[in-house]
Every structure is written in structure tokens, then in C-alpha cells.
Amino acid sequence: MTSLIEFQIGPNPPPRLDKALGRDVPEDAALSRSRLAKLIAEGAVSVDGVVVTDPRHRISEGATVVVTVAAAEESHIGGEDIPLDVVFEDDDLIVVNKPAGMVVHPAPGTPGGTLVNALIHYCGDSLSGVGGLKRPGIVHRIDKETSGLLVAAKSDRAHHHLADQFAAHTVERRYLAVCYGVPDANDPRLRGIKGTSFEPGNILKIQTFLGRHKTDRQRQAVSFSGGRHAVTRVRIVEPLGNPVAAALVECWLETGRTHQIRVHLAHCGHSLIGDPVYGGRRKLSAKTFGEAGCAAATGFSRQALHAATLGFEHPVSGEVLQFAAEVPADMRELLRELGSKG
């Protein structure tokens, strides 16, 4: 089945067909610029009755455009009936609180059981199609063993606008983490680490490049000569221990790179408790935390990291949305054993 979208080009159009369509296509068509580009290339766009496949075709005010859009095809990814903690949902997007242990997107090593499989089943026919397929639009990811908030698009239009916000670094993402040591401005060691500085309010700023580790392709590594620019800020929420030897911290991202918080905090000597990749062999002292606290930290089976806050502009209404997800039970238990008062 196909649908026909007919409209006229408004005054003072951009000279190129693709840009004019991006400006004037009806909002309710829910077609992104990338989707329109594909439709032009496929011969699905006509101007004044003539099919045009050149995106640079010059177009004039008042021209009648018809776009033929095929119904979204079923994705090759199958839906799976996996419980979801849905925080918010409307016709354009869905926000979920992902549990630790769930992969976001299918990959060769994890073909099923992912968040995408769960979303395809849960959303069903409410997925209007992203790129011509009935699938959710994934605009960001969090690691398998990281819990917390994630937004996915249900339409092509929402996918495009959300992706733009992530690319522009305007999305608010705040994480809660439990780390070894306390990243305090009074620690002279921290001030001597390349890429670190402190901002007012005892906020640690970590600014480096991140890229693939030279010998371990599963890891990321800090660099100062290549890779992708990455900025993380860290604030102490609660020092832990007597004397203090760990901390609950809040981290927020100016950029969003693979393993960014985990790599940056490890670079500063404050790796996350439970992190099997970047945590090293650090242990807490029984004199400081007691046997139960040390056992809780040693036995914590994932990085102690939770995507607690997510804020962005709704891709259709423009309303600023913000969501929060409570720290999961395993991290609450860890904090309790480490003497947290909150």
C-alpha cells in the first residue's frame, strides 16, 4: 500500500529540490530530510507531473509536488514480549527505564533479547516507520550493564529531530555513579592529571579525546592527539566511608561517546565500583567500610552507573520534557552497605 502526499512549494523556496521539500513537506507526513532524499533517489517524487530524481533540481514557488510513500515494511528484527518500564509515551516517541543487563540494539553476539526487540513488540502498529521500516529510531545508547533512561523515536520525523538534538549536544543527560575515592578539588593529584580541571562548585571537568584502545578493540582509551572530543563533568553527591574512600557522584555529558563516563573517571583515578573493564583490581578497606561493605563492593557485578535524568525538546510540540528514574535496587543496596545516609 502507498500514500500520496501532495503540496505546493511556498514563497522564496531554496533553490534545490531536496531543501525545498525539507522546508515545505507537511508536518503530518512525518518525513525527515534523509527520508525525503531517499524518496527522491527512488523516483518517488514528481514536480508538476514529472518525476525528478536529482536532489539539486531547481524548483520554483507554486510548483506542485507529489511524494509517493510506501507503507512502512516490517523490520527484519523480530518483536519479543519482554517487560518494559515505560516512563513516557506518545505518538512520536517513547522513554523507557532500561534495566542493567539489557543490550539496546541487536548485534552479532546478541541477536535477541534487546531493547529494540522489546520495543517492536510493545509498540506494534504505533510505529509509523523510521527510514521506511517499522522499527524504533534509536538516537542514543547506554551500555548493557548501565541502567536508566533512554528515548526512542516512533516516527521518522521524531527520529530526525531527536538525532539533531543529540548531535548539537543540547540533550540533558545526568548519571549517578559510585566510584573509588573522592574527586575533590582539594586533591592536588587530580590537578596534575592532563585533561582535568575544576569549575566553581567543586565540579570536576574532564576534557580529552576518546578512541579505540590500540590493543584491545573492546575498550576505549583517552587520547590527546586523535579520536573524538569528549567532555564530562562530575559533582560529588555524597562522600562515603570513614575516612572517606568512595563517593556517590553525579556525572553529566557535554558529549556522548562510548564508555565516556567510565573511561574518564578511570583516567582520573576514580574508576567505577564493579566496572569489569576499566575498574582495575582496586578494593575497599575493611577498616573503612567493614566486611559487609567490602563484600558488597567486591560482589557488585556491574559498573555502578545509572542514567538518572534525561531532558530534551519534544520533536513535534517543542515542549521541554525532563524525566527522572530512581536508582535501581542493586545500587541502593550497595550504597547502604557503604554507609550512605541518603
What lies within 8 Å, CB to CB, of 96 at 6+ separation is: 84, 85, 86, 87, 115, 119, 149, 150, 152
**Options 143, 156, 275, 330, the catalytic residue:** 143
Can you tell me the distance from the alpha carbon of 342 to that of 87, in angstroms, rounded to the nearest whole number? 24
143 given a catalytic annotation: yes
User: Angle at Cα 182 formed by Cα 180 and Cα 188, nearest 5°?
Assistant: 120
User: Angle at Cα 328 formed by Cα 322 and Cα 332, nearest 5°?
Assistant: 120
Half-sphere exposure of 52 (CA within 13 A, CB side): 23
Can you tell me the distance from the alpha carbon of 248 to that of 335, in angstroms, rounded to the nearest whole number? 8
Q: Catalytic residues, which ones?
A: 143
